[in-house]
Amino acid sequence: MPANTTRSLGIQKKLSVFLCSNTKGCRQTRPENPYLLGISHKTATMLHPATVLLSSLVLGLVIAIAFGRQADSHAPSQHHGAHHGGNGHNQEEELRQGHEHAPLPSADNVKLIIVGFRHGNRNPAQFLKNDTTHEEWAWEGASQLTNIGKRQAFSLGKFIRNRYMNLIPAEFSPSKIKAYSSSAERCQMTLQSAMAGLYRPNKGRANWNAALSWQPIPYEISDPLLRMYNVKCPHYTTSYQGISDDNVDAATKWLNKDKELTKYIAQQSGLNASLSDLADVADNIGNMKMMNVPLPNWVIRPTIPGYPPKDMYKAIMGFAEAHQVLCADDAECARMMAGMWLDQVITTLKQKKDGKLTDRAAHFYAAHTETVLSLIRLIKAKDVVDTPTSAGMIIEYTDLPAPAVRFIFHEPDPTNPDVRLAEIKELPYCSGQQWCPLEIFIENIKVPAFSDWQAACKLPRCAI
């Protein structure tokens, strides 16, 4: 699968905040606060003066908060709470660290976690024709991780540290964790950003540089594990080809649902009316709105019948991650994308149960939409529609009173990349149970798993 089919957005679902709360006369606006950090002066000059003033005030507030958080990170914590594995945060801190959905139960008895996540927010793979604003808001380059994406990943690392502080030591040890990434630069950078949030040697023997609260963490790159579309794999290509060509029923229905709309978007954007290109349009428009760059007139003042009252922005964002979602929803495509990863999840849990990974506390995987969402589909977790940038799952393992797992879905706050949301998702084969017995869990997910990727790809041995 080419890079331009990998979508970076998913955080556009709730991009609205209020300028004030509990006050009459408030008006709704885009979240210019935390997402505007790093915007260039040239881009800022395109904004309304009032917006620039508001952004400046909010930027100052965010910086003040950031310094406050940094100071807090040096202060000793007291043990008087259970929501984050026993750390002592007050209610405000708990909300900031990602429990807006509902307080998570204690992690005190968790003995191992398997954390999978999509790369953070990235720039589109291709930009709108005749649009030069991307030279400012996408200065990192096509498909590259943005500063917002780095902050999303960093918040994940902080969330892991706060929740599992009793499981994962503050000092890095190779026997405690294993980290994996696909070969994509955006995934490697996301993993490194998450590890920077997890391991912050502020003091003690791990603090090797007083001016830098960071330490290098090793990781392995494996595309057969996390990016099968970048591997020579004939069977994967066969499984994905119909989706890629928009020939499967789900794709044609998607495109034919509103032909006038797809034609309009293609004509105005300069891209093609394929699901892949329409998803690229969604990447552009979504990131432009996130960065507070004025949207094109054809989006805010559409000339197609029915818009308004229909929302053109919402219609465009409906194409985000199209091929990736279709792959995850197709049994064979999902198996080829995440079957090897699923096998490693099962093997790791078995080894932990059998006492072969006594010291191991965590495995981390930085991957892509179609890989992460496919794994979630293979595990059959309920109520997970998509995976916004940096979102994914945490599988918690315990052996008290018996070996069992618990599934948690995590994602960034849609209006603040520095906040992580998380909630437990039900596994249908363990309905009504927070902890699913390990034996039942494995029995219900093992069929699509494979360890020999060459055989799964149906490669002749002489070609390997």
Specify the 3-state DSSP secondary structure of 444: helix
Specify the 3-state DSSP secondary structure of 431: coil
Compute φ and ψ for 195, nearest 5 degrees. -65, -30
Residues 334 and 374 sit within 8 Å (Cβ to Cβ): yes
List Cα–Cα distances, 373 to 105, 367, 423, in angstroms: 24, 10, 16
The pTM of the full predicted model, rounded to 2 decimals, is 0.80
pLDDT of residue 448: 98
* Per-position pLDDT tens, the chain of length 464: 444 333 333 333 333 222 232 333 333 333 343 454 443 333 433 444 444 344 444 444 443 444 344 433 333 332 222 233 333 333 334 334 444 467 999 999 999 999 999 999 999 999 999 899 999 999 999 999 999 999 999 999 999 999 999 999 999 999 999 999 999 999 999 999 999 999 998 888 999 998 999 999 999 999 999 999 999 999 999 999 999 999 999 999 999 999 999 999 999 999 999 999 999 999 999 999 999 999 999 999 999 999 999 999 999 999 999 999 999 999 999 999 999 999 999 999 999 999 999 999 999 999 999 999 999 999 999 999 999 999 999 999 999 999 999 999 999 999 999 999 999 999 999 999 999 999 999 999 999 999 999 999 999 876 55
Angle between helices 249-256 and 275-290 (to 10 degrees): 60
Q: What would the two tokens of residue 124 be?
A: 């589109």
pLDDT of residue 92: 38
Count the residues in the chain. Answer: 464
pLDDT of residue 72: 39
Specify the 3-state DSSP secondary structure of 26: coil
pLDDT of residue 237: 96
Cα gap 442→352, rounded to integer Å: 14
pLDDT of residue 14: 32
DSSP line for 169-186: -SS--TTTEEEEE-S-HH
User: Which residue's structure tokens are 């990447």?
Assistant: 283
Q: What would the two tokens of residue 214 be?
A: 């960071």
**Pick from 383, 373, 391: nearest CA to 330:** 373
pLDDT of residue 332: 98
User: Which residue's structure tokens are 């991957």?
Assistant: 367
pLDDT of residue 115: 99
List Cα–Cα distances, 302 to 167, 230, 273, 405, in angstroms: 53, 38, 17, 49
pLDDT of residue 59: 40
Q: What would the two tokens of residue 353 be?
A: 């149960």
Specify the 3-state DSSP secondary structure of 75: coil
Query: Taking the chain, what is the end-to-end CA distance rounded to the nearest angstrom?
Result: 20
